[in-house]
A and B are shown apart, each in its own frame.
Chain A
Amino acid sequence: MAVEIFNPNPTIFAPVKSSKVSSKTDYLWLADPLEETRSDAEEADSEEPIDQDEIFGTFQLLFASPKLIPIDLIRSIADPEHPNTLEELRVVSAPQITITGNRVHVEFTPTVPHCGMSTLIGLSIRVRLLRALPNRFKIDITLKPGSHQSEMAVNKQLNDKERVAAALENPVLVQTLEQTLANASLRGQPAEE
């Protein structure tokens, strides 16, 4: 292959189990698929604020159905170098995401310190969040401290909105980004199901 591969053989991790099956394990009555009492409950429920699990991953009882649906935004973004997701390579993980008020901070870890794809990974996370989070949020994306040889430069580039905007005007770059985001809506599920 013409392009240099920065890490030809990265470590694959088993997908982390989603942190919890919503907060509804404490329901008293078993959800019975035949009973459609849930629809009323759903309406009456209070607001569900956006939290860390929504960005990285959780499951929720689907409206009027007993099936659990996955909800997440970034775990299934593909790595630009490998046929794996960012989750499988542990580039992103739930504890690396914090939400305080209207600020989202996502930290990610490149697989090797000289990874030249770091900016692309960071950019794909940013684009996904820009598209999927309400614009009241300010999004900060940084490398895990000490995980990259040019950490400062990459952080600066990722959080400079002029440079992000410029990058998104480059059609070739946008095409690459779309490829990494193509499966993001799979949300950790196998493609065939």
Chain B
Amino acid sequence: MASTSSTATDSVEQLVTTWMVSGRDEEVIAAVAGTLGVSEGRLLGVVKALGTYLTSEQDDLRTKGVDFLATVIARCPEKTLNRQSVKVLTAFFCDKLDDTETIVPALKGLASLPPICSDSDALVMINAVFAHVKMRALVQSVRFHVFTIIDGLIANHRETLKGMKKDFIVPYINLAEGEKDPRNLLVAFAIARVILIEFDPTDHIEALSNIVFCYFPITFRPPPNDPYGITADDLRNALRRCLNAHPGFGPIAVPIFLEKLAAGSPAIKRDTLQSMTECFPVYGPAFLRTSARKLWNAIKLEIFQPTDSLTEQVALATMQALVVTIHADDAQDEDVQGLARDACEECIGILREPEKSQAKPAIKVLCAFMATTPSVSRYTLAHAVPHLLKLYADPNEVPSRHPVLLLLSDLIAAARDSIKAESTPEPMSDSAPEPPLAPFKDEVLGALISGVATLATTRAALAGLTGLVSTPHLLSEAELGFVVLKVNDVLETCYNGDEERSDDTNAILKLLMTISATSPAHVRDQTLPLLLRSLPASAPPRDAVSARARYQHVLTALSTLSSPPPTLRDARGGSQSDPELPAAYLHALLAALKRALADKVDEGHADVAGYADSLVPALYGLCVRAALRGGPASDPRVVGVVGDIIGLVVQSLAPPRQQQFAAVLFPAFLTGNITALCSAEHVSADDRFLPFSAEATSSERNLLALFEAGLIPLHPSVTIDADINACTESILVQGLAHSDNDRQAEAVFRIVGSIVNKHVDELGSFLEHKQTVYWSEQIFESTSAPEWRRQAIRVWTWICKGLLVRNHTLALEFIHRLFDVFGDETIGTDAAKAFGDIAASDSVLTKRNSAVVKFLWAQKFANGILPRLMSGAKDDSSEYTLFSLTCDRALTVCLPVDSALQHANLIALTALIKAIPNAAYAHEMTQLMPLLMRALHIPDAQIRANVIETLLAAAAQHKSTHDVLAEHATGLVRQMLGYTKTKGASATTAITSTRIRISALRYLAVLPTVVRYDVLHPCKADVLRELGEALDDPKRSVRREAVDAREVWFKYTG
């Protein structure tokens, strides 16, 4: 035992000596502190080992000795020091404060003692600190120790320090005065707050204000790489907590606040205002009343002549705090005296000229008053509302009725929001609190109703009415009905008038929606019949532009109010010479129905499925009849919107119901058994409808879109046919064999894609056939006609898509086949573009359509295929040999294969990255940039526009690409300038479209924001000159972008 202890002492001595010589802190101190943890008495060993160092005559040795002891104390666990040793250590360190050489380490040692020392030690400590420490002589890190000691003492021995009274406060103030370091200030502010709140500082307020207010306002800006990470906001908040710690600061603070408010920058103004907001409640009403006038004048300036809108907001909040504080006592009184009354009268005085610019801030002030105390709120309303109503009624003020109503509607909205804010925190005792506006309800409603009928004031009155109806418990049901009635009149005049009033109608619809949210009956019973009545019975003639615009507006209104209009009434009638007109009218009706249904689906209404029994057969019947006998419903655009409606309804059916539907859908289209699918009023049993047969007319085949619409949403569990392979094959072959336009072919592609996606496991032989026979005969062999091969590529694309979105193993096999025809000169480009179509999201294979869609399938696909496309697109012969191995068959077909292959790869690459989300290729951007720049030269308008849009998205999103961008910036600028011209100077720029010009101009506008000025400085003059030409572009939308781009370049300086 003795031997171990002596070894320990020896080792400690050794360590101490090592440290004295080398000064290597970490391991030595950790070792010593570790030994301290073992048992009692070790500290004695350390002190002994330090022995002579602690009292050495040599200054530096003494410093080092004390420093070692302080560091060890700081490190060792709290429990190892007993009461006695703490007392000794405290006395020792306090003693050392006297010594200029040891004061620094002694403070460091003391800093770790407050939590464990006794109250009497604390007294000794604080007195020693006050007696010996001269803050000005110490550097900031040592001053931090001083503040830490005091902070620790306050935290642990607050009562003792309180007992010292002014013996603590006065010396502390001397100590803290003149502190500048932000880290120390944070501690000092915390100490000051405790002193202000808990130590009775009434006699020392003046002195304390000296160490607090000298810092206001904080203008600290943290240095770069600040190790402590202190922000200006930290300091600001800490200081604010001092400022509002004692009501006695009021008389001192207010003049300072006012002075800073008058002279400061916007940031300082905001800081001052926010500080005031927090301080006012503490300073109390009694004091604030005396300086209310001065404060109001200063704050008013910030509201009426605001430097910016943010400051204005803050100033309004400050004013609210002021009013709330001053009028806290008389919150329930009927009469209001003092500041609020004066301010209110002043604002109302300004409101005598409601059309002037000052009226706006005045009403803002009044609105802010609404959210203060109940009495002020009542007072404000009781004076402002009658005043505005009187102005409105004054015949001399007719021109200013519009602004009057605008101001009134602001006030109504504020009154509404004030009760909302009040009623949320506390549950009201009586269930329906009376809205503050209730006493003036009738007059206000009267003014608004008369205003809404006058053209000039309609919009302002509508805003006011919206505020009124959205105030809970204000208007009765009868009054709501009255509002709806009056608004309906205005709506009617809007539709009947010649002038365009879409803004008014939008506001009216918004108002009606607000009303129908609480009481739907009025809108249902009054507005909807009115709207339906105003729809024309048949399509207006071609030159009746206003009548057409009118029915379109009415339909917009109907679909907004979400009631499916009874579209199918007499739209097929009308013996007009021009068949396009009834078709367009029918299309408009159906589009409105579709919007209303889509809204219902989005809101999750269950009754959409109910339309399967009535609406769907009627729609099928309408279209089939029109296809067979002619009529407006045979127009492909009408068929398109009918398809959308059917899709919406079928999507909402449950799988068993879908199975029933499929059982009538397939026979109708495949074998002509239409009586079960279509309603009887439209078709008869002897109608012959076989869209897949060779004799079918084009308009019959157009209905393949309706087959698609019914088929695509079917759930995977729905059985399609007994022999699904043959069925799919026949749809594909028969459908494409006679198709005479793109719509028909696209419908077939989508049907195949959807079936493949949902029933891949049953389609073994179909896919097998595609992989072997179809691929080689239809696509790979170049003997068939190019258009057939292109169509086959499209089929291939959709099969790939169907497989890929469910991450099926066959997908990549199918997709990789496409590489084999990259070298083909007729369809290589189409095969390459297919990559974009495969990866693009579409409206067919979606969750809504019950397709099997795996998470992040596009990203996975892109990650797998991008490297291959990039290496294929690179201009590098070694890559080429590697690549040619994979497509040796292609090599035999056509010889100049390397450039054609590169070209195809490049096209595939651009198509792909246009289709996938940015994040999927962001990491490759450095290598993609040169490829994209090469792709710009491909003479194809669509590809070029795609590339520019990709570049645009990349520049906006990825900071990492900016270095790459800087490298290519000059070249890009020149190229883009070329693309902005309508008449290309060279062959590469000759291809142009509005889309290319717009995106090129947008890209030019983005470049200055991401590239340093010095890089692009040489181009600036050229860009400005050449954009001058783009300003004269024949297209308005292009000119608009040119104006914006040029503006950016004008402002682009170093």
Looking at the complex, which of B103-111, B920-928, B1027-1035 is the stretch in contact with chain A?
B1027-1035
B588 close to chain A: CB less than 8 A:
yes
Whether A63 contacts B994 in the complex (CB less than 8 A), given A30-B591, A48-B1035, comes out as yes
User: Does A135 sit within 8 A of B, measured CB to CB?
Assistant: yes
From A14, A43, A62, residue with most partner B Cβ within 10 Å: A14
Chain B 1014-1049 per-residue mask, 1 if CB under 8 angstroms from chain A, else 0: 000000000000001101101111011001101100
Smallest CB separation, B748 vs chain A (Å): 19
Asked if A11 and B355 make an inter-chain contact with CB atoms under 8 angstroms apart, the answer reads yes
| In contact, B1032 and A134 (Cβ under 8 angstroms) | yes
Q: Find B403's partner among A12, A26, A29, A62 (CB 8 Å cutoff).
A: A12
A contact residues around B353 at 8 Å (CB): 9
CA distance A39 to B995 in the complex (A): 9
In angstroms, Cα B650 to Cα A123, docked, is 62
Would you call A161 an interface residue if the criterion is a C-beta within 8 Å of the partner chain's C-beta atoms? no
Residues of B within 8 A of A69 (CB): 1037, 1040
Q: How far is the CA of A148 from the CA of B406 in the complex (A)?
A: 31
CB neighbours of B640 from chain A (8 A): 35
Q: Which stretch in B323-331, B545-553, B712-720, B806-814 binds the other chain?
A: B545-553
Q: Which of B306, B359, B1029, B1040 contacts A134 (CB 8 A)?
A: B1029
Asked if A25 and B549 sit within 8 Å, CB to CB, the answer is: yes
* Shortest beta-carbon distance from A12 to chain B in Å: 5
B440 in contact (CB, < 8 A): no
Complex contact A48–B357 (CB within 8 A): no
> In the bound complex, what is the Cα–Cα distance between A42 and B305 (angstroms)?
47
- Report the minimal beta-carbon distance from B490 to chain A, rounded to whole angstroms: 16
Would B402 and A14 count as touching, CB distance under 8 A? yes
B644 on the interface (CB 8 Å rule)?
yes
Which range holds the interface residue count of chain B? 35 or more
Q: Please, how many angstroms separate the alpha-carbon atoms of A28 and B360 in the complex?
A: 43
Q: Could you tell me if B357 and A9 are in contact, using CB atoms closer than 8 angstroms?
A: yes
B287 at the A/B interface (Cβ < 8 Å)? no
Q: Does A173 lie at the interface of the complex (its beta carbon under 8 Å from any beta carbon of B)?
A: no
Task: Say how far A7's CB is from chain B's closest CB, in angstroms.
Answer: 9
Are A9 and B358 closer than 8 Å at their CB atoms?
A: yes
B993 contacts A by Cβ under 8 Å: yes
Residue of B nearest to A79 (CB): B357
Partner of B357, one of A42, A43, A84, A185: A84
Nearest CB on B from A20, distance (A):
6
Taken together as a complex, chains A and B put the C-alpha atoms of A95 and B993 apart, in Å, by 34
**Contact at B503–A17, with CB atoms within 8 Å?**
yes
Q: When chains A and B are docked, how far (Å) is the Cα of A17 from the Cα of B494? A: 15
Is B580's CB within 8 Å of the partner chain A? yes
Q: How many A-B residue pairs have CB under 8 A?
A: 106
Whether B502 sits at the interface, judged by CB under 8 Å, is yes
In contact, A83 and B306 (Cβ under 8 angstroms)? yes
Judge if B49 is at the interface, Cβ distance under 8 Å. Answer: no
Instruction: Tell me the smallest distance from the CB of B996 to a CB of chain A, in Å.
Output: 11
Which listed residue, B359, B403, B995, B1032, touches A64 by the CB 8 Å rule? Answer: B995
| B545–A26 touching, CB < 8 Å | yes
Chain A residue with minimal CB distance to B637?
Answer: A29
Which residues of B, 248-305, contact A by the 8 Å Cβ criterion? 305
Asked if A132 meets B1046 with Cβ closer than 8 Å, knowing A17-B503, A39-B995, A47-B1034, the reply is yes
* B1051 interface contact, C-beta 8 A: yes
User: With A9-B353, A12-B355 given, is the CB distance from A32 to B1036 under 8 Å?
Assistant: no
Q: Tell me, yes or no, whether B1050 is within 8 Å of chain A by CB.
A: yes
A191 to B2: give the CA distance in the assembly, Å.
82
Q: B552 contacts which chain A residues (CB < 8 A)? A: 30
Contacts of B1050 in A (CB 8 A): 131
A77 at the interface (CB under 8 A from B): no
Which B residues are CB-close (under 8 A) to A134? 1028-1029, 1031-1032
Contact A133-B1031, Cβ < 8 Å, known A26-B548, A30-B588, A63-B995: yes
Q: Name the one of B355, B359, B587, B1043 contacting A132, with C-beta atoms under 8 angstroms.
A: B1043
Contacts A28-B584, A48-B1035, A63-B995; A131 near B1043 (Cβ below 8 A):
yes
Chain B residues numbered 355-372 whose CB sits less than 8 Å from any CB in chain A: 355-360
* Chain A residue with Cβ nearest B305: A1
Which residue of chain B has its CB nearest to the CB of A184? Answer: B1047
What are the interface flags for A163-175 relative to B under an 8 Å C-beta threshold, 1 for contact and 0 otherwise? Answer: 0000000000000
B989-1028, CB under 8 A of A: which get 1 and which 0? 0000111001000000000000000000000000000001
Instruction: Kindly state whether residue B376 has any CB partner on chain A within 8 Å.
Output: no
A54 adjacent to B1047 (CB under 8 Å): no
Contacts of A63 in B (CB 8 A): 994-995, 998, 1037
Task: Check if B641 is an interface residue, CB within 8 A of chain A.
Answer: yes
Contacts known (A26-B545, A42-B994); A136 close to B355, Cβ less than 8 A: no
A32 lies within 8 A of B591 (CB) = yes
CA distance A21 to B500 in the complex (A): 8
Query: B1029 — which chain A residues lie within 8 A by C-beta?
Result: 134
- Residues of B near A178 (CB, < 8 A) are 1051
Can you list, as one digit per residue, whether each of A66-92 has a CB less than 8 Å from chain B (1) or not (0)?
A: 000101010000000011100000000
**Given known A-B contacts A20-B500, A64-B995, A132-B1046, A30 and B1031 have beta carbons under 8 A apart:** no
Chain A residues with CB under 8 Å of B1031's CB are 132-134
Nearest Cβ distance between residue B663 and chain A, in whole angstroms? 29
- Cβ of A50 under 8 Å from chain B: yes
Q: With A10-B356, A34-B644, A185-B1047 given, is the CB distance from A60 to B402 under 8 Å?
A: no
Determine if A43 and B1043 form an interchain contact, defined as CB atoms under 8 angstroms apart: no
B458-498: CB near A (< 8 Å → 1, else 0) gives 01100000000000000000000000000000000000000
Contact with B548, one of A8, A28, A71 (Cβ below 8 angstroms): A28
- B621 → A minimal CB distance (Å): 23
A11:B356 contact, CB within 8 angstroms = yes
Query: From residue B639, how far is it (CB to closest CB) to chain A in Å?
Result: 12
**For A60, what are the chain B residues with a Cβ–Cβ distance below 8 Å?**
1036-1037
Q: How far is the CB of A22 from chain B (nearest CB, A)?
A: 9
Which A176-191 residues sit within 8 Å CB-CB of chain B?
A: 178, 181, 184-185
Q: How far is the CB of A54 from chain B (nearest CB, A)?
A: 6
Query: What 0/1 pattern do residues 620 to 646 of B give for CB contact below 8 A with A?
Result: 000000000000000001001100100
Q: Considering only CB atoms, which chain B residue lies closest to A134 in the complex?
A: B1032
Nearest A residue (CB) for B555: A30
**Chain B residues closer than 8 Å to A131, beta-carbon distance:** 1043, 1046-1047, 1050
Q: Are A43 and B1028 in contact (CB under 8 A)?
A: no
Per the 8 Å Cβ criterion, residues 509-546 of B in contact with A are 542, 545
**Whole-angstrom distance between the alpha carbons of A63 and B1001 in the complex?**
14
Docked CA distance A84–B637 (Å): 46
Check A30 against B355 for contact (C-beta < 8 Å). Answer: no
Query: Which residue of A is nearest B406, CB measured?
Result: A14
Task: Select one of B356, B503, B580 contacting A28, CB under 8 A.
Answer: B580
Question: Distance (Å) between the CB of B637 and the closest chain A CB?
Answer: 6
Task: List, in ascending order, chain B residues with CB within 8 A of A1's CB.
Answer: 305
B957 to chain A, nearest CB (A): 21
Q: Knowing A25-B545, A32-B591, say if A73 contacts B1043 (CB, 8 Å).
A: yes
B360→A12 contact, CB < 8 A: yes
Question: Contact: A71 with B1040, CB < 8 Å?
Answer: yes
Distance in angstroms from B294 CB to nearest chain A CB is: 19
Q: Which A residue's beta carbon lies closest to that of B1027? A: A131
Q: Could you give 12 example pairs across A and B, Cβ below 8 Å?
A: A11-B355, A12-B357, A12-B403, A14-B402, A14-B459, A21-B502, A25-B549, A48-B1035, A71-B1040, A82-B357, A131-B1043, A184-B1047
With A43-B994, A131-B1050 already in contact, 20 other A-B pairs whose C-beta atoms are closer than 8 Å: A9-B356, A9-B358, A10-B357, A12-B360, A17-B503, A21-B500, A25-B549, A26-B548, A30-B591, A35-B640, A45-B1035, A54-B1036, A60-B1037, A63-B995, A63-B998, A69-B1040, A71-B1036, A134-B1032, A135-B1028, A185-B1047
In the A-B complex, the 6 residue pairs with the smallest Cβ-Cβ separation, listed nearest first, are A134-B1032, A47-B1034, A26-B545, A132-B1043, A134-B1031, A48-B1036
Binding site for B on A (CB under 8 A): 1, 8-14, 17, 20-21, 25-26, 28-30, 32, 34-35, 39, 42-43, 45, 47-48, 50, 54, 60, 62-64, 69, 71, 73, 82-84, 131-136, 178, 181, 184-185
